[in-house]
Amino acid sequence: MNTGFFEGLKPAKFEGAYSNDPMAFHHYNSDEIILGKSMKEHLRFAVAYWHSFAWEGGDPFGGPTFERPWHPQDEMGRAKMKADVAFEMFDLLQNPFFCWHDADVRPEGDTLAQSISRLDEITDYFMSKMENRDVGLLWGTANMFSHRRWMSGASTNPDPEIFAYAVATVKSCMDATLKMGGQNYVLWGGREGYETLLNTNMGRELDHMGRFLHMVVEYKHKIGYKGQILVEPKPQEPSKHQYDYDAATCIGFLRKYGLENEIKLNLEQGHAILAGHSFEHEIAVAATNGMLGSIDMNRNDYQSGWDTDQFPNNVPEVALCYYHILKAGGLVQGGTNFDAKLRRQSIDAQDLIAAHIGAMDICARGLKTAAAMIEDGGLEDMLTKRYAGWDSPEAKAMLDSDFTSISEKFLARGHDPQPQSGRQEIIENYVSRFV
């Protein structure tokens, strides 16, 4: 039975760029082939359960604005109604993937055992709904940052009993992710960091986090889970400093603890901005190190300086992200998760659908733009030319040589190399032709 929450709305269809229907796709044409694969296969969109269904519209200055029929979210009957609405939304959006935290989908139990049995029950309920649909789980994760027990961290908590609670929690979420055929398992450590170094034994906390992630990987292999394990970098918020600061920091951490072949990264646009980077920078860092796993697509407000988790709306930015993703071989087992929420005033059911349709269109435009640049090959040509000097056998041999011999040969050549233009404006003009 339909809940009627989205009453009057029909499944969104592709109508082309000139359609006037705000509830139609203007650019996302799921079956359209781009560089040999359908848009659907490239983009692998996912809805974030927490923003779309669990968040109630509160902010630091005010309470909920949304007043959904599944509020308050404190009992299983309403958790199921919330699931019904979620799947009605997936039907309207042409069956995307979705992602959840345990806390988004089930009410907290009185004990951990009760929380886990509720997670089992609701994920079984999801699976019954997935049976006759083309909806998949992109990833599952544990919320180990909202409840007060996590205030001093999960795996980095000074209290070993909280570490144990975190282990049991992640174990249950990995079990549920495996059961649902989830393609990835994500760990984002919002409280794995500190408020002040004065009360923090950083080395000890990092060792505990490294050991915790090893246990995640050991458990993954033990249960035969074939999905990817991903950590999600973010520099701060809610903690003053988070250990998974950015892609480069995570990669260093994973290498230090010998996890670089087991764990990849889930990168988020807004987190890149908070870290003082661009999103394509984070993607390029991960890709260069063979650790690009999946993306959380959203945007920050450039004025507020918060992680505002808005739906993406900037085609040139999104295009450069997909350019680097395509160059790295695509998202493969990962996807494009909209870790994005409505604005607090957007209280209509229609807003929720429109936000996703718009974001899917923006990503489709970004993907097409990126593919056009790849097909044209202009950027690649420019790189080839810029580094052409390194193709000569003498230049290559230098990398196997040493300081003394390179210096002697260079001085003997008596060459005075002249600077070459980086041609940045010309290249930016080139990109503008595509966006």
> By CB under 5 A, what part of segment 224-283 binds Ni ion?
268
Number of other CB atoms surrounding residue 187 within 10 Å? 23
Cβ proximity to ligand XLS: between 186 and 362 the closer is: 186
Cβ proximity to Ni ion: between 246 and 268 the closer is: 268
| Residue 104 lies near Ni ion (rule: CB under 5 A) | no
| Residue 205 lies near Ni ion (rule: CB under 5 A) | no
Nearest-CA neighbor of 46 among 3, 120, 96, 107? 96
Among candidate residues 26, 42, 51, 101, the one labeled active-site is 101
Cβ proximity to ligand XLS: between 232 and 365 the closer is: 232
Cβ proximity to ligand XLS: between 44 and 101 the closer is: 101
Considering only the stretches 82-90, 292-300, 361-369, 393-401, report the one whose residues sit in contact with Ni ion under the rule CB under 5 A. Answer: 292-300
Q: How far is the CB of 408 from ligand XLS (least distance, A)?
A: 53
Contact letters for Ni ion, residues 9-48 (x by CB under 5 A): ----------------------------------------
Both tokens assigned to 357: 């349709």
Cβ proximity to ligand XLS: between 282 and 307 the closer is: 307
| Number of chain positions touching Ni ion (CB under 5 A) | 3
Say which amino acid occupies 89: M
Q: Which does 230 bind (CB under 5 to 8 A by kind): Ni ion, ligand XLS, none?
A: none
Q: Which residues bind ligand XLS (CB under 6 A)?
A: 101, 141, 186, 188, 232, 234, 268, 296, 307, 339
> Bridge partners of 267?
295
Q: Which does 141 bind (CB under 5 to 8 A by kind): Ni ion, ligand XLS, none?
A: ligand XLS
Q: How far apart are CA 240 and CA 405, in angstroms?
A: 49
Q: Which does 340 bind (CB under 5 to 8 A by kind): ligand XLS, Ni ion, none?
A: none
Q: Which does 27 bind (CB under 5 to 8 A by kind): ligand XLS, Ni ion, none?
A: none
Count the alpha carbons within 13 Å of 16 in the hemisphere toward its beta carbon: 2
Q: How far is the CB of 132 from ligand XLS (least distance, A)?
A: 28
Q: How far is the CB of 134 from Ni ion (least distance, A)?
A: 24
Say which residue the tokens 């909209």 belong to: 338
- Which residues, 6 or more positions from 424, have their beta carbon under 8 angstroms from its beta carbon? none
> Bridge partners of 100?
140
SS3 87: helix
Among candidate residues 104, 244, 296, 361, the one labeled active-site is 104
The angle, 0 to 180 degrees and rounded to 10, between the axes of the packed helices 247-256 and 202-222 is 80
Q: Which does 361 bind (CB under 5 to 8 A by kind): ligand XLS, Ni ion, none?
A: none
Nearest-CA neighbor of 350 among 2, 5, 1? 5
Q: How far is the CB of 57 from ligand XLS (least distance, A)?
A: 16
Cβ proximity to ligand XLS: between 101 and 118 the closer is: 101
Question: Which DSSP string do the residues of 361-383 spell out, in sequence order?
Answer: HHHHHHHHHHHHHHHH-HHHHHH
Cβ proximity to ligand XLS: between 79 and 138 the closer is: 138
SS3 48: strand
| Residue 296 lies near Ni ion (rule: CB under 5 A) | yes
147 part of the active site: no
C-alpha to C-alpha distances, 374 to 37, 289, 326, nearest whole angstrom: 14, 21, 8
Contact letters for Ni ion, residues 335-354 (x by CB under 5 A): ----x---------------
Cβ proximity to ligand XLS: between 29 and 337 the closer is: 337
- Per the CB < 8 A criterion, the answer to whether 268 and 296 are in contact is yes
Q: How far is the CB of 337 from ligand XLS (least distance, A)?
A: 7
Say which amino acid occupies 394: E
Q: How far apart are CA 303 and CA 321, in angstroms?
A: 21
Q: How far is the CB of 270 from ligand XLS (least distance, A)?
A: 7
Q: Which does 80 bind (CB under 5 to 8 A by kind): Ni ion, ligand XLS, none?
A: none
Residue 235 DSSP code: S
Tell me phi and psi for residue 46, to 5 degrees: -135, 145
SS3 49: helix
- Per the CB < 8 A criterion, the answer to whether 239 and 249 are in contact is no
SS3 207: helix
Q: How far is the CB of 294 from Ni ion (least distance, A)?
A: 10
Of all residues in the shown chain, the one whose CB is closest to ligand XLS is 188
- Which residues, 6 or more positions from 277, have their beta carbon under 8 angstroms from its beta carbon? 246
104 part of the active site: yes
Q: How far is the CB of 339 from Ni ion (least distance, A)?
A: 4
Residue 312 DSSP code: P
- Where on the chain is the footprint of Ni ion (CB under 5 A)? 268, 296, 339
The residues assigned a catalytic role are 101, 104
